[in-house]
Amino acid sequence: MAEFSVIGERLPRVDAREKVTGEAKYAADYSLPNMLWCKLLRSPYPHARILSIDTSKAERLPGVKAVVTAKDFGGWTWGWMPATRDEPPLAVDKVRYMAEAVAGVAAIDEDTAEEACQLIRVDYEELPGVFEPEEAMRESAPKVHDYVKNNISVEYHWNFGDVEKAFAESYIVREDRFRTSRATHGYLEPPAILAYYDPTGYITVWASKQSPYFHYRHLAACFKLPLSKVRVIQPFIGGGFGGTKNDSLAGDFCAVLLSKITGKPVKYVESMEEELVTSRRRHSMIVYSKMGTKKDGTLTAIHHRVVADGGGYTAVGPLSLYLAGFATTLPYRLPNFKYDAYRVFTNNPIGAAMRGHGITHTRFAAEIQMGMIAEELGIDPVEMRMQNAIDNPKPGTIYETINKVTLKTCGLKEAIQKVTEDPIWRDRNKTPRKEGNISWGVGLSGTSYLGGARQMGHQACAAIVRVCEDGTVNLITGATDCGQGSDTVLCMIAAEELGIKLEDVNIKRVDTAYTPVDPGSYGSRVTILAGQATQKAAREAKRQLLEAAAKTWQVKSEDVEIRERKVFITSDPERSMPFNKLSKIACYSGTGAVILGTGYSGYGLEPLDLTNGIGNGGTSYSFTAQSARVGVDMETGKITVTDFTIASDCGRLLSPIQAEGQIEGASVQGMGQTIYEDFIMDRGKTLNPTLLDYKMPHSTDIPNIKLIDIVTNDPDGPFGAKETSEGSIVSTPPAVVSAIHDATGIWFKELPITPEKVIKALKEKL
Amino acid sequence: MKQIRLMVNGESHELSVPPWRTLLEVIREDLGLTGTKEGCSLGECGACTVIMDGRAVNSCLVLAAEADGKQIVTIEGLADGDKLHPIQQAFVEHGGLQCGFCTPGMIMSAKALLDETPTPTEEEIRRGIAGNLCRCTGYTKIIESIKAAAGNTEEK
């Protein structure tokens, strides 16, 4: 008999039908009778004092029902940690980035609301701005916030081993400056909310949030209501990828407050331009990387000094900088590591989380630098990686890094081996190196990402499995599928545990009035934590069912098993009954019992050590090796990526179609940030605020992608699963950059590598 | 206000619309067909794609008045009762969607392509959906889905 009957099967998503028919409703698709529309007035300056706001003209415009400004929020501010609650719903005394929201209007339609915004008079006193993080750190720089020194919003200094001694004893030491791009999530659904603050003092919202329980706490705190009176009903989410849809936005707070004032439902839908100029995007980080190795390429030490552009507020910045540091000791053995990190306020839009959060920056720097050192030493880059890669720990043993990150499985070496046996790498010297103007190159990377993220609190994560009398099952969790496929994976876990089919399990979306609390969709945590909670809840429901079967058959419950909707005695499989019959017996057993299994996750409970960087940031760690083949037009600088081969150690693929889609999608997103995507900023103003000018990959740009599955079966994950997708957004930039180096002989250290940069570098090389 | 008549998914609608109202606004707000999505509102993302007189168009760029007398098909008009259109079925089976926000527009572009070119090459598929952005899938499984729908399942 196969090990599993549902896990590992190529089953379609549980929400596919609703999505292909257009029935799936997203936040902007909801309407209520007598609904008003909200629009925001945004700042035309990146840094300015607000001297006065006059809303009287706007209020007199026919159709306008209410106007709110910062004073209406009573000085409430919010943030990721108590010490960093520096952000108000609307700008109070000054604006800190361009297009920060200053006022909100509710009117009978969107056009009237927009017109009213134009009638609000704000007197600003423009202040000198600061836009480069290294300039902002100087004593003389304009101050974005008064509560910190030198605009430093987050600062860490961690030290493991003795890097100075190690550098002194190294055969080679390199120091390079790297910089990552100003990239954003690029989901197609702009943030939206429909809010109703009813007269009994109860908030109900339909909002595009990938972590709805953050929003639920924000609304309760902002409006001083008990949590039991805040109901976030989750629509389908049109993509998340971290950042913006994890947080609450000015439009959310204003829609709720305007609903409270007017007594009517209020809808707010952001325009794509508003989204692109204000999104809580990936930080742009400057990474000063110093790396030492022995003569044979063995790594001796890394010192990273990171300066991140934080923009106007702190948001999730403390976590971003933590992640950019703690995982530098993966996936290669590193005996000495020092990390000095600064997240700096500027008058740019806010830097926050995005898929591959934190790790993508420093791993890009370290991978490229390792390639440079291999080249200098005349060592094959594959050999250099194999020699330094962490071995897969023997079952029952743990590998611990110098900063006490612990691994139970590591498939990196196997992944590198598989990728190098694949034709893209293996035959790289058999294919032409140059055809006309095109110079071809192949590159390789080996990287890691965390799964099952920890955070500072709010880690509780539960599931409820309710068995209906007809043998179907309701799965109730607080987890959010924002597109990644977690609803499907969780239903598959429940079906596997219960011995039934995927179509027997139904999952509904989050409704904070009924679903158990959950941290949200970030840090590749849902499959691992909500998956474990679901597994435990299903096991508990199954235990109750088996007890009913045992009672019926007068046997012990451990002698009964359920597989493929059939309940049977293991020693005598002929004695059996269908699952739906057992469900009926169990539900009508005369005890009054309801078959209800509950479970919660026990992973990731210790808070993160932000101060010292010691310990785990995740529950387990994925490992990825990737090759990339590129063609560089040596005349125009245009880069075409033709092939990716990606070997991922995701522990075990629970839902292969969904996992493959995640890995493919993340690698293409990673390709975008490597060669196309960047907000072009001029003194705080975004010069490319449309999808025409902010270039994301189209269908005509993508490479052929080949995936290789490395199974390591991690003990800390449901059915051995680790994370998927964030791994390949980390592995893609260094693989592409080393391929570009192979094609051009140039190591590019700043992303994205646009044609202009290629041409400039080629000219300088001559 | 302008009086217009639209045939949407085979049903006739008489509407009175201001001259600046877009076909997308009419479809979503007046007809309540919210399967068609609004992404960028500038014709770049393709989430609002519908088929107008046999051609895929960005409904955010078409004024409702321009659509007067035209035959419109939206995502809601593809399935035959409970039976999915073969393109929808292929997207379901081959994982051609994730968050689903680009999906209606993507499927409408795929339909316009296959109506015109029943067995497209991979290159033609890529070009056929070049006006539709998808941020989740990296397009690979969308291309496979369209190939499968075309009965063209050869390996690329």
Interface of A with B in 160-189 (CB under 8 A): 185-189
User: Which runs of consecutive H residues, i.e. helices, occur in A524-638?
Assistant: 531-553, 579-587
> How much is the pLDDT for A592?
75
On whether both B67 and B90 belong to a single domain, the answer is: no
Check residue A591 and report its DSSP letter: S
> How much is the pLDDT for B153?
42
On whether both B63 and B102 belong to a single domain, the answer is: no
Domain A281-454+608-765 has CATH 3.30.2130.10: no
> How much is the pLDDT for B151?
83
Instruction: Please indicate whether, in this complex, the C-beta atoms of B137 and A666 are within 8 angstroms of each other.
Output: no
- Residue B155 maps to a domain: no
> How much is the pLDDT for B155?
38
Task: Tell me which chain B residue has its CA closest to the CA of residue A30.
Answer: B34
Task: Tell me which chain B residue has its CA closest to the CA of residue A24.
Answer: B35
Closest partner CB to A699 (pick from B28, B76, B129): B129
Tens digits of residue pLDDT in A82-132 = 999 999 999 999 999 999 999 999 999 999 999 999 999 999 999 999 999
Q: Which of B77, B112, B128 is the last residue of a domain?
A: B77
Instruction: Please indicate whether, in this complex, the C-beta atoms of A187 and B88 are within 8 angstroms of each other.
Output: no
Task: Tell me which chain B residue has its CA closest to the CA of residue A700.
Answer: B126
On whether both B38 and B101 belong to a single domain, the answer is: no
- Nearest by Cα to A659 from A622, A625, A702, A696: A622
Closest partner CB to B156 (pick from A189, A482, A704): A704
- Nearest by Cα to A669 from B125, B99, B89, B88: B99
Mutate to test the interface with B, among A18, A21, A482 (most CBs of B within 10 A): A21
The confidence band for A248, taking pLDDT boundaries of 50, 70 and 90, is very high
On whether both B137 and B110 belong to a single domain, the answer is: yes
Tens digits of residue pLDDT in A152-205 = 999 999 999 999 999 999 999 999 999 999 999 999 999 999 999 999 999 999
User: Chain B contacts of A236, Cβ < 8 Å?
Assistant: 99-101
User: Which runs of consecutive H residues, i.e. helices, occur in A232-316?
Assistant: 250-262, 272-278
Contact A47, A129 (CB under 8 A): yes
pLDDT of B52 higher than 70 = yes
> How much is the pLDDT for B66?
97
On whether both B17 and B43 belong to a single domain, the answer is: yes
Show the tokens assigned to A649. Answer: 């150690």
Tens digits of residue pLDDT in A501-545 = 999 999 999 999 999 999 999 999 999 999 999 999 999 999 999
pLDDT of B150 higher than 60 = yes
On whether both B113 and B53 belong to a single domain, the answer is: no
> How much is the pLDDT for A589?
78
- Residue B66 maps to a domain: yes
Instruction: Please indicate whether, in this complex, the C-beta atoms of A20 and B130 are within 8 angstroms of each other.
Output: no
* B14/chain A closest Cα distance in angstroms: 22
- Residue B131 maps to a domain: yes
pTM (two decimals):
0.97
On whether both B57 and B115 belong to a single domain, the answer is: no
> How much is the pLDDT for A309?
98
- Residue B154 maps to a domain: no
The confidence band for B156, taking pLDDT boundaries of 50, 70 and 90, is very low
Cis peptide before A752 (omega within 30 of 0): yes
On whether both B43 and B11 belong to a single domain, the answer is: yes
Task: Tell me which chain B residue has its CA closest to the CA of residue A657.
Answer: B95
Tens digits of residue pLDDT in A583-603 = 999 998 777 788 999 999 999
- CATH number, domain of B110, equals 1.10.150.120
- Residue B54 maps to a domain: yes
Q: Which residue has the tokens 């598929």?
A: B125
On whether both B11 and B73 belong to a single domain, the answer is: yes
* B135/chain A closest Cα distance in angstroms: 6
Q: What mean pLDDT, rounded, does chain A reach? A: 97
CATH number at A31-127+204-219+234-263: 3.90.1170.50
Interhelix angle for A359-377 vs A381-388, to 10°? 120
Mutate to test the interface with A, among B20, B113, B136, B141 (most CBs of A within 10 A): B136
* A440/chain B closest Cα distance in angstroms: 21
Q: Which of B21, B48, B77 is the last residue of a domain?
A: B77
Q: Of the ranges A451-455, A661-665, B95-99, which one carries the lowest mean pLDDT score?
A: A451-455
Total domains in the fold of chain B = 2
Percentage of residues of chain B with pLDDT beyond 90: 96
Interface of A with B in 360-389 (CB under 8 A): none
Q: What mean pLDDT, rounded, does chain B reach? A: 95
Mutate to test the interface with B, among A19, A657, A668 (most CBs of B within 10 A): A19
Q: Which residues pair with A83 in a beta bridge?
A: none
User: Chain A contacts of B88, Cβ < 8 Å?
Assistant: 20-21
Q: Which of B77, B94, B111 is the last residue of a domain?
A: B77
> How much is the pLDDT for A766?
78
CATH number at A16-23+460-600: 3.30.365.10
- Nearest by Cα to A206 from A35, A414, A1: A35
Give me the total of CB pairs closer than 8 Å, taking one residue from chain A and one from chain B. Answer: 169
A405 and B CB contact within 8 Å = no
Tens digits of residue pLDDT in B129-148 = 999 999 999 999 999 999 99
Torsion of CA A320, A321, A325, A328, to 10 degrees: 40
pLDDT of A457 higher than 90 = no
User: Chain B contacts of A272, Cβ < 8 Å?
Assistant: 39-42, 45
pLDDT of A348 higher than 70 = yes
A109 and B CB contact within 8 Å = no
On whether both B40 and B100 belong to a single domain, the answer is: no
- CATH number, domain of B38, equals 3.10.20.30
pLDDT of B23 higher than 70 = yes
User: Are both A16-23+460-600 and A281-454+608-765 of the same fold?
Assistant: yes
Contact A465, A540 (CB under 8 A): yes
Structural domain boundaries enclosing B61:
2-77
Check residue A142 and report its DSSP letter: P
* B131/chain A closest Cα distance in angstroms: 8
* B88/chain A closest Cα distance in angstroms: 6
User: Chain B contacts of A658, Cβ < 8 Å?
Assistant: 95
User: Chain A contacts of B104, Cβ < 8 Å?
Assistant: 20, 22
On whether both B35 and B9 belong to a single domain, the answer is: yes
pLDDT of A24 higher than 80 = yes
Tens digits of residue pLDDT in A708-759 = 999 999 999 999 999 998 999 999 999 999 999 999 999 999 999 999 999 9
- Nearest by Cα to A486 from A12, A91, A13: A13
- Residue B92 maps to a domain: yes
Task: Tell me which chain A residue has its CA closest to the CA of residue B127.
Answer: A700
Instruction: Please indicate whether, in this complex, the C-beta atoms of A189 and B99 are within 8 angstroms of each other.
Output: yes
Closest partner CB to B44 (pick from A660, A667, A690): A690
Domain edges within chain A? 16-23+460-600, 31-127+204-219+234-263, 281-454+608-765
On whether both B70 and B110 belong to a single domain, the answer is: no
Give burial (CB, 10 Å; 0-12/13-18/19+) of A289: buried
